[in-house]
Structure 1
Amino acid sequence: MASAAWFIRLAWSVHRGLYRVTGSRVGLWRPREHRWGTLLLTTTGRRTGEQRSVIIAYFEDGPNLVGVAMNGWGEGAPAWWLNLQAHPDASVDLADGRRLVRGRAATDDERSRLWPRWREADKNFDAHAARRSSETTVVVLEPRPGGGSPTP
């Protein structure tokens, strides 16, 4: 199990490097039916107050963007989620532009509705989540007023 988490973190690290090296031309894509996309989330560090960026998987739910707070399926919450809890206002770079968002945990009803969408995108999603001793948080990124318009 530990090696799987290590590999997933390495893969995302390589992904971020590719995004940087290509000047953000490669590495972000829009979700498609039964397939997640990727976005660059920029949060404010909870301790430093500095901008921190990470690429995460997401899908769209109306005007909202939906991710999961996982740490390579390892234990603990990822730093970006801890930062977002301390400072909910953030920005996202998508394949087709930037948006200002406010992050929060999905309500119980939202989580019940959104979790199966992750399962559709990854048939092993529940098995991966079961490796964690705590429930994986579903994160909702809501548009902020004046923060860019959602794409059709």
Structure 2
Amino acid sequence: MTEEVIEESPTGWVAEHVRRYLATDGADGATFHGYDSLLLTTRGRTSGKLRRTALIYGRDGDRVLLVASNGGAARHPHWYLNLDAHPEVGVQIGAERFTGRARTASAAERPRLWELMVGVFPQYATYQRETDREIPVVVVERG
């Protein structure tokens, strides 16, 4: 990612989590209520601006997995919608920063990856029951 200004989440508690994470290279924030979390930077699909948020993540080998749950809401989260237009992302896990390419898990791979992520954060299963949309699993590969 370039040296552009990165906008933080408009959600107050998420923005505060991101600030603490950045200020401490993840020493404060790499775990969120006991779950591993990372910082994801995406490019806005309409604004073109860089945006950063904190998310719970899992791993599948060298790949990073994310779930676009939006807390079980009827709509996908904005960060997920941005990936379709701009799949290049920035990732920070602890002090480690890297770029990657994000994609939605295929229909063939989703069931295994979904179960893996429900194992990471069991609340995802509840979120899926609360919405009519299939919650996407996102695969980030270093690039």
Q: TM-score range by the shorter chain?
A: 0.7 to 0.9
CA shift at 1:108, angstroms?
1.6
- Measured at CA, do residues 28 and 124 of structure 1 come closer, stay the same or move farther in structure 2, by a change above 3 Å? closer
Show structure 2 runs of 5+ residues with no match.
1-10
- Structure 1 stretches of 4+ with a deviation exceeding 6 A read none
- Equivalence for 1:133: 132
CA shift at 1:128, angstroms?
2.1
Distance (whole Å) between structure 1 residues aligned to residue 22 and residue 62 of structure 2: 27
Show structure 1 runs of 5+ residues with no match.
1-11, 145-152
Distance (whole Å) between structure 2 residues aligned to residue 73 and residue 86 of structure 1: 23
- Are the aligned partners of 1:29 and 1:95 in contact in 2 as well (CA < 8 Å)? no
Distance (whole Å) between structure 2 residues aligned to residue 82 and residue 66 of structure 1: 16
RMSD over aligned CA atoms reads: 2.4
- Measured at CA, do residues 133 and 49 of structure 1 come closer, stay the same or move farther in structure 2, by a change above 3 Å? same
Distance (whole Å) between structure 1 residues aligned to residue 58 and residue 21 of structure 2: 24
Identity of aligned residues (%): 32
| 3-state SS, counterpart of residue 103 of structure 1 | strand
TM-score (norm 2): 0.81
- Equivalence for 2:104: 105
| 3-state SS, counterpart of residue 132 of structure 2 | coil
| 3-state SS, counterpart of residue 109 of structure 1 | coil
Counting only pairs closer than 5 Å after superposition, residues 48-59 of structure 1 correspond to structure 2 as 48-59=47-58
| 3-state SS, counterpart of residue 91 of structure 2 | strand
The code of the aligned residue for 1:102 comes to R
CA shift at 1:91, angstroms?
0.6
CA shift at 1:29, angstroms?
3.8
**Greater strand proportion:** 2
Aligned length: 131
- Are the aligned partners of 1:70 and 1:78 in contact in 2 as well (CA < 8 Å)? yes
Q: C-alpha deviations, 1:81-111, integer Å up to 9, x for none?
A: 1111110001101113101010100012221
- Measured at CA, do residues 125 and 69 of structure 1 come closer, stay the same or move farther in structure 2, by a change above 3 Å? closer
Counting only pairs closer than 5 Å after superposition, residues 14-53 of structure 1 correspond to structure 2 as 14-21=13-20, 23-25=22-24, 26-29=28-31, 36-53=35-52
